[in-house]
Amino acid sequence: MQSNMLQDHEIEKELLDFFAFASEKSSIDFVLCNECLEHTHTQLKQEYTNLETELERLQSQIEPTPPPSNDKGSKIKTSFVEKHTLDQLEKQVKELEAQESHLSTQLDMLEQTYIKEVENVAKEIQQQEIENQQQEMEYWNQYNDFLLQIGQFVQTKHSYDQHIQILFQEFQKLNTCNMLNDAFHIWFDGFFGTINTFKLGRLNSTSYHPNVEWNEINAALGQCALLLQSLERFFSQPPTKSSHTTSPISSTAPPSQKGFAFTKYRVIPNGSFPKIEQISNNTLMELSGGSGGLFWQSKFEKAMIAFLFCVKELGDYIHSQWDAQFEFPYKIEAEKVGGVSIKISSGDETWTKSCKYLLSNLKWLILFVSSLL
């Protein structure tokens, strides 16, 4: 029992020494918890008490008080007992020393193993910390790049939004514009009808209305030819319900799928020298006057009558295919518009009035087309 108590004491002491040694060898402080410390203290105190008792017993055996006797046999017996006790103690000491050497060797091995494990764990922790720092740095770099990209995307989106808003405003502005009316502005100037400020007609020169030169008249006729050709192209595509809207002039029925094209004449705009081509024989008629020469007036009148025919043909197409209630404000019959002859030989005043009626009918076509856009 005494040997076991000493052995437990030595083990606990060696453990305490091991923790102290491990604390010195490593930056980690290996300490005991309060409960373990109290338990160890209690055991050590108890063992200390037991050892003191055992020491007193051994001392009493090693150095016994000699009895007051001169008996030689008693002295031999006492000497034998002391020698036997010393042999036992030396044997126990040797056993304890061997056990201590063995435990010391094991402790050294444990210390070496533990120190290596601690160093490996410390290296792993340090390496992991370095990797975590690198990952954190990479994360923040990516985060900053992402924020920069977001800022650029926001600026780009803001720029596109502004551009879209500007385009939408332009679209609304253009949507409210009457394109044909802007391109071919038909109005009047006193007794004359005008298209893009060019007067169409002639009167005797007076102080109130000086005569119009043929250059201006031919420019006006060129604008009229270009307008009529544009209207023909507009109606040349077969109309669809998606492109058809209700006319403000009157309610319309769904249009047919038949496009429009002039059947007898072809209008050829050519600046101030427009022409009318007869489709059957490809004959060209000059829709411009004042050129001089023989029979220019009769040729010019034929071209004006052909132009008036084309206007009537387009009006009839709109009436039959688009709006059954569509009618010109000035009815066209043969060479007359609004009951007034389109021939220049009928007199300047009459011809000027018929040209004014013709421009009014062209204006009516522009209004109808604008109602469809």
Q: What is the DSSP string of 293-335?
A: STTHHHHHHHHHHHHHHHHHHHHHHHHHHT-TT---SS-EETT
Would the pLDDT of 251 be above 50?
A: no
What is the separation, in whole angstroms, between the first and last Cα of the chain? 118
pLDDT of residue 141: 92
Would the pLDDT of 64 be above 70?
A: no
Residue 323 to residue 368: CA distance in whole angstroms:
10
pLDDT of residue 304: 94
pTM for the structure as a whole: 0.53
pLDDT of residue 252: 44
Give 5's pLDDT tier (boundaries 50, 70, 90): low
Higher pLDDT, 69 or 243: 69
Q: Alpha helix (H) ranges present in 176-213?
A: 179-183
- The fold adopted by the segment(s) 178-372 is Actin-binding Protein, T-fimbrin; domain 1 (1.10.418)
Give 10's pLDDT tier (boundaries 50, 70, 90): low
Give 98's pLDDT tier (boundaries 50, 70, 90): confident
| Distant-in-sequence, close-in-space partners of 264: CB < 8 Å, separation ≥ 6 | 278, 279, 280, 306, 309, 310, 313
Convert the pLDDT of each residue in 15-58 to its tens digit: 566 566 655 655 555 455 667 767 777 877 788 888 888 888 87
Would the pLDDT of 79 be above 70?
A: no
Helix axes 72-175, 34-62, angle to 10 degrees: 170
Tokens of 253: 């029925």
Residue 321 to residue 289: CA distance in whole angstroms:
35
Q: Tell me if residue 195 falls in helix, strand or coil.
A: strand
Domain with CATH 1.10.418.40 in the chain: 178-372
Q: Which strand ranges, in their side-by-side order, compose the sheet holding 192-195?
A: 186-189, 192-195, 198-200
Give 67's pLDDT tier (boundaries 50, 70, 90): low
pLDDT of residue 241: 41
pLDDT of residue 56: 81
Convert the pLDDT of each residue in 139-180 to its tens digit: 999 999 999 999 999 999 988 998 898 888 887 777 666 677
Give 247's pLDDT tier (boundaries 50, 70, 90): very low
What are the φ/ψ torsions at residue 32 (nearest 5 degrees)?
-95, 150
Average of per-residue pLDDT values in the chain: 80
| Distant-in-sequence, close-in-space partners of 55: CB < 8 Å, separation ≥ 6 | none
Element (H, E) at 278: strand 275-278
